[in-house]
Structure 1
Amino acid sequence: MTNDLHTDLIDTALALADAARPATLRHFRSLDLGVDNKADGGFDPVTAADKAAERVMRDVLQGRRPEDGILGEEYGQTIGKTGITWVLDPIDGTRGYLSGTPTWGVLIAASGADGPMLGVIDQPYIGERFLGGFGQAWVEGPLGRRELQTRAARPLSEAILFTTFPEVGSNEERLLFQRVEREVRLTRYGCDCYAYALLAAGQIDLVIEAGLHPYDIHAPIAVIEAAGGIVTDWQGGKAHDGGRVLAAANPEIHAEALKLLNNP
């Protein structure tokens, strides 16, 4: 890819994030959330803001890069002609969104055949944006702009671990997760995509999750890898299809966690 294409993709990703911000904030902490449940059993919420944010991002892509593909959580897949697919999660963390917590985010990734190349994790309410890809890794927000760098290696006993749900996934997945949880200094829950942003920013060491979709993880992969981290599945393979995901600040702590997830 040429540098001109890299620049255009970065500019497009930022334009998508700019468009999604007002669409998500219009309903946040309001009485007009328009919540529906997508799950036959359990609770998988979608709000009016999820749908509105994806629509405005699709409109931006239609104007800027109409021949690219799109994979979005709310409106599915549009096949493109360029080999580039925009993977969009208009609100990652809808449960947090409808609860009023500012830990949800807009996920935007430009991906090719080998997975994500560029990612943005945007938190509109805080006004904080994380970008990684094509030689860039930065966060911009209330504290200004700075480069992203994941934490240096440290023993697992000193690590901070995040996951969104205490149950993690199935009973088997929860038990595997607990092998790592027992070894770390601190475990926290509930941050959805913001946990991956914190990992890229050097605040935490590990994120371990299960049951993810591609649109949940493409942007975090790009941001974390650009910041020096590593993201795989629980066997050490590619994670861009979702499922079980292990994100780590460095190869050393990744190896320690991977061993615990796989060895009896």
Structure 2
Amino acid sequence: MTDDDIALAHDLAEAAGAAIRPYFRAPFDIESKADASPVTVADRAAEAAMRTIIAERRPDDGVIGEEYGEDRPDAARVWVFDPIDGTRAFIAGRALFGTLIALLENGRPVLGVIDQPIARERWVGAPGRGTTLNGVAARTRRCADLSSAYLGTTSPHAFDADDFSQFEQLRAGVRDTLYGGDCHNYGLLGSGHLDLVVEASLKIYDWAALVPVVEGAGGIMRDWSGAPLARGSDGRVVAAGDPALLAAALARLA
């Protein structure tokens, strides 16, 4: 991963944001995908814009995207896109969605971007370089005590029955729980406003960009067993701003 890759990631976020903003709080058609999740013309336009840039500037790199699938996914370098993480929030006119951009090298996320194109908030994380919010260093806050922690998750309806039961065990032990936020929660964690984010059923395009942002800000992100996230992960994730908080959270989820 190089400075050129970071510059390219910024260009990708700019292109996605330019594609998304004309549709925000404007009339558009809403379709349902095979899994019943919604998709809009903005999702597709943003991903298409990013794919065009990769085809022009990094033709040997692979791409994995939520809307248009995989292209050379076994390449040594793969860009991973979720053009609108939080399509339901976007449809409702809530500026809590975000564009997620990740670069994988040999299967590991080495660069991550969370871009909120309406509020113009952009978190960028990379190992060894730290995380920034709009160019300024971002850091998680210290909170090693579960009873003092603020927990975020997008929706209780995103968990199946067993996962929800485990989530409730965790929720019972924290100071407070906030719902909604999608990928924005992980940026807020990276900036020291949340202490935990816990979710399930995530795909690689949902979490790949989040890991460098969270960990570059001083936090840690794992699956519910405590293992690092990888291509074969089951989609259940825990992000902790203070790594000392992780063990307590995992114990509640066990």
Which TM-score bucket, shorter chain as reference? over 0.9
Q: Note the C-alpha offset of 1:222.
A: 1.1
**Count of aligned residue pairs for this structure pair:** 251
What is aligned with 2:124?
A: 131
RMSD over aligned CA atoms reads: 1.4
> Within 1, Cα distance between the matches of 2:99 and 2:185?
13
What is aligned with 1:105?
A: 98
Out of 56, 59, 65, which is 1:63 matched to?
56
Q: Does 1:39 align with 2:34?
A: yes
- CA contact under 8 A between 2:148 and 2:175: conserved in structure 1? yes
Identity of aligned residues (%): 43
- CA contact under 8 A between 2:64 and 2:73: conserved in structure 1? no
Alignment of 1:1-264 (within 5 A): 5-32=1-28, 34-39=29-34, 43-79=36-72, 83-134=76-127, 135-140=129-134, 145-241=135-231, 243-262=235-254
- CA contact under 8 A between 1:148 and 1:200: conserved in structure 2? yes
* TM-score normalized with structure 1 length: 0.92
Q: Which secondary structure does the structure 2 equivalent of 1:54 belong to?
A: helix
Q: Which secondary structure does the structure 2 equivalent of 1:212 belong to?
A: coil
* TM-score normalized with structure 2 length: 0.95
- CA contact under 8 A between 1:217 and 1:240: conserved in structure 2? no
Aligned AA for 1:121?
I
Structure 2 residue runs of 5 or longer lacking an equivalent are: none
